[in-house]
Structure 1
Amino acid sequence: MSGLAEFLELAQPIVAVRISNVRGSSPREVGAFMLVAETALWGTVGGGQLEYMAIDEARALARSAECSRQMNVPLGPEIGQCCGGHVQLDLRVIDQAEKAQLLAQEAARMAALPEVLILGSGHIGRALAYAFAPLPVRAILVDSRAEELAHAPEGVEQLCTPLPELTLRGARAGAAYIVATHEHSLDFLLTSEALARGDAAYVGMIGSKTKRAKFESWTVGEVDQLVCPMAAAHKGDRRPEVIAAFVVAEVMARLAAFQDAVNRQSVRGKA
């Protein structure tokens, strides 16, 4: 079960397990939390014996007359983990008001996720959409062909539009653009639009060095930011799923670097 709203509708007590303090090494950071019901789980506090212990304690709390407990757990050989740190967990049976607060926080988190526009729903585009689905991004598969979007993985956000360039123009600053359409001319148009924005975290275009050279001779804009070929470090297996894995790694690294630059700029602005 992955959807928070669906999880919170369970007709059984739900316990929030939250990391409230960390000393030394820990598998998750302060504030990380999971939700525990008798028959389901949502989220994680890091896995391993720490999580097993937390789940057992949370379910025991849900069956008791108490509403909260606290756990202090050393992450050492005594529980079969070797992080070497110490964590404090706060456990609390949540009520309707806390459920509403969790849903509002999740909506805000989702709204703040960086956008990844996958322009083209062919084999590569669909493999990319599938690979991005579990990651902390808002991936949108864009195509003008409804019949191709129909083959997209279940649950992937899709947009069928005859004017994908308008979708590109409406994206937020710091988005990633992966251009992999069915036509080189459309690839060139969309890539040029993405580069012209000047605020992209990543602009990639499917193709070879030859295709890049043709694009550079066609466009009048700067091309330094363009990644083409994508997944250039990978050699050998060219199946869409393999290519997608390498492209996703490139994109996630660029998104992280972009956010780090924004954070540094914000700190300088406050100084």
Structure 2
Amino acid sequence: MSFDVQGLRDALEQHGRVARVVIASHQGSSPRETGASMLVWDGGQSGTIGGGVLELEAARRALDATVTTVTRVPLGPALGQCCGGSVTLVTEVFECVPDVSNSYLRRVEGDAAEPLKIKRAKSQDRNGSSHELAFDQGWLFEPVQPARAPLWVWGAGHVGRAIVDVIAPTQAVDITWVDSAPDRFPDRRDGEKSFVINELSAINIPDAVPHAPRDAHHLILTYSHVFDLDLCHRLLDHGFASAGLIGSSTKWARFRSRLQTLGHTDAQISRIQCPIGQPDLGKHPQAIAVGVASELLMSLQTKTLGKDVAV
């Protein structure tokens, strides 16, 4: 877990004042691990610290907070939960993004000098041996989350919408969603947005390929096989971290043949995965979305970004 600067920036741009609640430490059994956090604003929140009543009470206190607070909560006696442990929550109020680089260090309570545990955490973070939150004697140290991997979703049909609905709340990727007209995208009311999605309209969808970063992940899900093939062709020329195409084995066999005719080698073509997801889960849009999301999130967590890994 780490401090998500981009997530905070997005929330501030949409909602103004935002409170952040993080589990700074826990003892015994707890609903979430140390470092789990959530953002809370008037009318909504993103992220979760788990625990049902724990989260409900923490969100209520966060809305009323005006200064940084440290709250120690025994889950059984205070909240009637069966976890049996306790958590320490740090709640901070933000009206702008703090000036941070690779880590975020601050004293959240008391006046103690910077303790040895915090100094060690900083040193370990600098040399790459550890990137963990540390909390001691009122000091809180968090590594800053690296820039999110860019994900381009091509197509806003049933499967595209299901995939975005599953992946976007994780805030693990920076999503650009492309289709041929603005009305192809679902109507998302401002009050329902807890994350940012960049929607891009292009009458000829493949014309947007040059705007994609060369290290982006791609999911090709348009309503047109002509667009799908052209996207595969252009992305192979453009470059990508990974690419997945929705379709059957028969569709992919035809595409492979046509891509060979267009001058792409077998090795290049094999970088595109088709079908996508986990076929054993079925063909329902949400089932496809679950399979695709799990593979993508696992690839990000195992640091396969930039390698030839298909989603």
Specify if TM > 0.5: yes
Q: Name the structure 2 match of 1:191.
A: 232
The match for 2:276 among 204, 221, 230 is: 230
* Unaligned residue ranges in structure 2 (runs of 5+): 1-9, 102-143, 189-196
**1:125 lines up with 2:160 in the alignment:** yes
**Amino acid in structure 1 at the alignment position of 2:178:** V
Q: Are the structure 2 counterparts of residues 103 and 183 from structure 1 closer, same or farther at C-alpha, using a change threshold of 3 Å?
A: farther
The Cα of 1:110 is off from its aligned counterpart by 10
Q: Name the structure 1 match of 2:191.
A: none
Q: Name the structure 1 match of 2:253.
A: 213
**Amino acid in structure 1 at the alignment position of 2:86:** H
**Amino acid in structure 2 at the alignment position of 1:140:** T
RMSD between aligned alpha carbons? 3.9
Equivalent pair of 2:218/2:240 in contact (CA under 8 Å): no
Secondary structure of the 2:222 match is coil
Secondary structure of the 1:233 match is helix
Q: Name the structure 1 match of 2:285.
A: 243
Q: Name the structure 1 match of 2:6.
A: none
Spell out, residue by residue over 1:129-176, the C-alpha distance to the aligned partner (whole angstroms, 9 max, x if none): 444443423333323x32xx4131124532122454453344235532
Inter-partner Cα distance in structure 2 for 1:247 and 1:118: 12
Q: Name the structure 2 match of 1:138.
A: 174
The Cα of 1:91 is off from its aligned counterpart by 3.6
Q: Name the structure 2 match of 1:79.
A: 79
The Cα of 1:5 is off from its aligned counterpart by 3.6
Inter-partner Cα distance in structure 2 for 1:103 and 1:161: 36
Q: Which protein is richer in helix relative to its size?
A: 1
Q: Name the structure 1 match of 2:45.
A: 42
Equivalent pair of 1:19/1:31 in contact (CA under 8 Å): yes
Q: Name the structure 1 match of 2:32.
A: 28
TM-score (norm 1): 0.67
**Amino acid in structure 1 at the alignment position of 2:149:** P
**Amino acid in structure 2 at the alignment position of 1:209:** S
Equivalent pair of 2:150/2:216 in contact (CA under 8 Å): yes
The Cα of 1:61 is off from its aligned counterpart by 5.8
The Cα of 1:214 is off from its aligned counterpart by 0.9
The Cα of 1:211 is off from its aligned counterpart by 0.8
Secondary structure of the 1:230 match is coil
Spell out, residue by residue over 1:218-266, the C-alpha distance to the aligned partner (whole angstroms, 9 max, x if none): 223333333322342233xx5xxx3244235324422431452358x9x
Inter-partner Cα distance in structure 2 for 1:185 and 1:138: 26
Inter-partner Cα distance in structure 2 for 1:150 and 1:103: 38
Q: How does 1:129-168 map to 2 (within 5 A)?
A: 129-136=164-171, 137-143=173-179, 145-146=180-181, 149-155=182-188, 157-162=198-203, 164-168=205-209
